[in-house]
A and B are shown apart, each in its own frame.
Chain A
Amino acid sequence: MLVLAFLTVYPMAMLLYGSLHSTPPGMAGEYNFDGYASLATAENLQALINTAALSLVKTVLSLALAILLAWIVARTDTPGRGVLEILITLPFFIPPILTATAWAMLGNAQVGTINLAWRWLTGTDGTLVDVYSYGGIVWHMMQYSTPFIFLFVVDAFRAMDPSLEESSRMSGATRWQTFWRITFGLMLPVTTSAFILSFIRGMESFESAVFFGTPVGIKVLTTQIFDMITQRAQPDYQGATAMGFATMALMFLLLVLQSRLLRGRSFTTVTGKAYAPSVTRLGGLRWVTFSICVLFFALAVALPVGQLILSSFFQFFGFYQLDMLTFEHYRSVWENREFWTAFGNTLLLGFLGATATMILGGIVAYITTRTAWHGRRLIDILAWLPWMMPGMVLGIGFLWGFATLPHEIPIYGTLWALLLAYVALGTPVAVRVTSGAYAQIARDIEECSRVHGANWWQTMGRILVALAWPAFAVGWVLIFFGIMRELSASILLYVPDTTVLSVVMLKLWNSGKPETVSVIGLVMLAMVLLFRWVQLRFIKRRISTL
């Protein structure tokens, strides 16, 4: 309880405190509303509109694409659906910073690989794509959010009782009527919930905008906060914090909206029974649907990864001649002390953070789902709070929080700072995954164990944990992935000794070393693939929760 409060309420309170405090953290100052007053500028209004519009557009597009892909994978006889599903969901696990660097090299208007290839093919000197644009930001966000929504809706498609659709056909409805009035109608709650979550995620997104928006002056809320703290001669902590608090309030409103919309509309079509979903025979069309899936994988994974491999071997990206081939970048990364520090930190934080988060999440979920304790609703809400805090905002909250702690507790500047932030960010996911698993374990199973002579601890260990461990493992891996790709909180809380891979990538990118970034990106990708493989190979449970 205290731990949770420290992880969630404390940074929020410090956010409010900081937004009213006129000087940077740790210094004496006075309290005023200057921070909020300074927000009311045309530039910030534009940033807010940009944020909302970009997120809305990408969510609508991702949703349409994700539903199409989920339908193809779950309900048609498209060849190779099992493999396609793994390929389609892969971008969800790849850190956005990695695809961002790759697409910056692919879609650069002057020297992007796609444009070079286009000119070579057509003989013109036109430009096919330019990722430094609104379209580029939307496209990059889509690569992450499409599999995110896909994971949400694919099980809803799959686990639906087929007789609900069959009875519609028996009632005289055509296939098309059945899809709209029954299938889609039944999926509306899960679709709405995926839509709002994805929209919130879009508003919190930092990588896409900092890579493709900042260079051409497209501003969003997160980049504005980042800009105020790190890119100015005189960091404007008060303004940034005020903005963070305002953003959080906005997220809160969205979450309230979500729970309003979904009240009493969560139909349990997933009854725990295993159904064999009815499969639509597509005939020749199944190769079209197959191509759609492959095309998505090619654009979201194969192309960016190919670009990283390509540029990691050439002296300068954009100049692909044989005499420019080199291993120089691999050697420089190998000899780079900063890289090794970051690599070690990322792994250490990943293991410790994921473990700590799952333990905390497991306890919280147990208290909220299995006990009758009065404070359990409060704990549930506490664990949910970080969900509405973008990493950037939580980062500022902790920045203030650590700076105001007494000097005997030196957290700022140590790995503890990052660890605490990661645990706070991961807790909502951990609670969701484990409480979902607990809910599936009937209370009788626990009671039966007690009746047969096991004490509470034996029951916990031999029944509950033994049954729920696949969910723990899934949650652990999800949180590990989350920590590996985390950038927006890390960039505010790191110091040179506690740097992590994503931060190193962004710094090297900004100092103009895209080739070195490619090498580090490939190292990260190898780690992602390794963990994903382990997850699929050894934990054959679906990730149905998030």
Chain B
Amino acid sequence: MPTVTLSGVGRHFGALKAVDSVDLAIKHGEFVTLLGPSGCGKTTTLRMVAGLERNDTGSIAIGGRMVSDAASELFVPPDHRKLGMVFQSYAIWPHMTVFDNVAYPLSVRHVAKAEIKAKVTAALKLVEMEAYAERPAPALSGGQQQRVAIARALVFEPEVLLLDEPLSNLDARLRAQMGDEFRALQRRLKITTLYVTHDQEEAMALSDRVVVMDKGKALQVGAPEDVYRRPASRAVAAFFGTPNFIEAKVTACRANGTDHVLTIEGAGTEGDCRAGDAYRPGDAVLVMIRPEDVTLGAAGHLSWAGTVVDGVFRGPRRTLTVESTVGGQARRFTVECPATRAASVGDAVTLSVESDNAWALRS
């Protein structure tokens, strides 16, 4: 079964740990995304799986076969790993036609001519590029090059598909379209996929699981919704959007399924919120509230009175900045509300949040 397993994988450049002991197990047919800011080590991790770079620590196994183990100096070169890869620049060879580009992985393996023809045609059909087979590669647009790159990566039916920011060179509209197409294709072929991006929305829309990386470390691994709604740390929470953080004190804690419900005070309000871990009364916590979970007016579980100091119209929604006095100090909340909610600067408003939408982190 084509699974990918990384255990303790690291890559060091002198004292700098570009990738610091990453563990990850990708199941068969799963779509996993490495997400993080540039320089976080996500591309280096992908390149180590590809065999384009050697890992300095740990081991990598693909489909149960060990392909790289730093301890025993085992290293299988990239051409023997049976992978497909799409590069950020697409790396379409400019001296070949579209057909030759896609046929390349087969022809270097000495596949018979007739079979190459059939498989390349099928691969091009898959990405709806069969009409362009005889075009010289430089005569393609960005979106077309990307399709050719995908066809080339899929043509010899690799065990695992690797993608290095394949959508980042496309414009916004094409990016969304190609992303959807790509997700549908991956589901249909059930191909194990490791994807690298710095775009949080892209990561959440495409993946089964997301690995949030920063400074060479994997901060959290989980389904997109989990990572978004139940982040393990402030760094992960702050990576998606601009959440509000409020310091508070725990007064009570009780278990609720796998989660815990905390009763908090001291943040200008009192009430319940959720947390992943158990806390003791008196513990300090940081409560994360997503801007879109704040409602105006209606009394919710946690609520604050404040004044609108700024409003930005963004088409479908409106971003408000609301100032509230908490414990003698001015505190600003970012609030996302429907654009039709007309709250103008200077209005007095009440902010409220359901306790399910407030997530406590260790401060």
Could you list which residues of chain A lie within 8 angstroms of chain B, going by C-beta atoms? 161, 163-164, 166-175, 177, 181-182, 185-186, 188, 265, 267-269
Contact = CB atoms under 8 A, between A and B. Distances in A.
Given A172-B79, A172-B82, A167 B94 contact: no
B152 interface: yes
B341 interface: no
Nearest to A174: B79
A173 B50 contact: no
Contact of B108 (A173, A185, A265, A268): A173
B113 interface: no
Most A CB contacts (10 A, CB to CB) among B83, B94, B138 go to B94
Interface stretch (B84-92, B194-202, B316-324): B84-92
Contacts of B93: 164, 168, 182, 185-186
A161 B108 CA distance: 21
A186 B85 contact: no
Contacts of B50: 166, 170
Given A170-B84, A181-B104, 20 more contacts: A163-B88, A163-B89, A163-B91, A164-B93, A166-B50, A166-B85, A167-B91, A167-B152, A168-B104, A169-B51, A169-B52, A169-B78, A172-B82, A173-B105, A177-B108, A185-B95, A265-B95, A267-B95, A267-B138, A268-B94
B109 interface: yes
B99 interface: no
A169 B85 CA distance: 10
Interface in B133-159: 138, 149, 152-153, 156
A188 B105 contact: no
Contact of A267 (B83, B85, B94, B162): B94
Given A163-B88, A163-B89, A166-B87, A171 B105 contact: yes
Given A170-B84, A172-B109, A186 B104 contact: no
B77 interface: yes
24 contacts: A166-B52, A166-B78, A166-B85, A166-B91, A167-B149, A168-B93, A168-B108, A169-B77, A170-B50, A170-B79, A170-B83, A171-B108, A172-B82, A172-B108, A172-B109, A173-B79, A177-B108, A181-B108, A185-B93, A186-B94, A188-B95, A267-B94, A267-B95, A267-B138
Most buried by B among A167, A172, A174, A181: A167
Interface in B81-131: 82-85, 87-89, 91, 93-96, 104-105, 108-109
A268 B92 CA distance: 12
A301 B95 CA distance: 38
Nearest to B152: A171
Contacts of A265: 95
A367 B1 CA distance: 64
A268 B152 CA distance: 21
Contacts of B88: 163
Contacts of A175: 77
A265 B136 CA distance: 11
Contacts of B109: 172
Nearest to B155: A171
A172 B156 contact: yes
Contacts of B77: 169, 175
A54 B310 CA distance: 81
Nearest to B85: A170
Contacts of A168: 93, 104, 108
A28 B48 CA distance: 81
Interface residues of B, number: 29
A169 B79 contact: yes
A499 to B, nearest CB: 50
Interface of B: 50-52, 77-80, 82-85, 87-89, 91, 93-96, 104-105, 108-109, 138, 149, 152-153, 156, 162
A161 B105 contact: no
A177 B88 CA distance: 23
Contacts of B162: 170
Contact of A171 (B52, B104, B138): B104
Contact of A167 (B80, B82, B87, B95): B87
A267 B136 CA distance: 11
A12 to B, nearest CB: 37
Given A170-B50, A186-B95, A163 B78 contact: no
Contacts of A268: 94
A44 to B, nearest CB: 41
A272 to B, nearest CB: 13
B192 to A, nearest CB: 15
A182 B94 CA distance: 10
A173 B80 CA distance: 9
Contacts of A171: 79, 104-105, 108, 152, 156
Given A177-B108, A185-B95, A170 B78 contact: yes
Contacts of A167: 85, 87, 91, 149, 152
A267 B80 CA distance: 29
Nearest to B136: A264
Nearest to A165: B91
A268 B94 CA distance: 8
A163 B50 CA distance: 12
A170 B109 CA distance: 12
Contacts of B83: 170
Q: In the complex, which of the residues A164, A171, A173, A188 has the most CB atoms of chain B within 10 Å of its own CB atom?
A: A171
Contacts of A173: 79, 104-105, 108
Nearest to A275: B89
A167 B51 CA distance: 11
A268 B96 CA distance: 13
A93 to B, nearest CB: 33
B363 to A, nearest CB: 41
Contacts of A170: 50, 52, 78-79, 83-85, 153, 162
Interface centre among A169, A170, A173, A185 (most CB of B within 10 A): A170
A72 to B, nearest CB: 21
Contacts of A169: 51-52, 77-79
B94 A172 contact: no
A99 B82 CA distance: 54
B53 to A, nearest CB: 10
A533 B339 CA distance: 67
A20 B152 CA distance: 63
B82 to A, nearest CB: 7
A164 B95 CA distance: 11
Contacts of B52: 166, 169-170
Nearest to B162: A170
A169 B50 CA distance: 10
A175 B88 CA distance: 22
B104 A164 contact: no
Contacts of A166: 50, 52, 78, 85, 87, 91
A447 to B, nearest CB: 24
A181 B95 CA distance: 10
Question: 6 closest pairs, A vs B, by CB?
Answer: A171-B105, A267-B94, A167-B91, A163-B91, A173-B108, A170-B85
B102 to A, nearest CB: 10
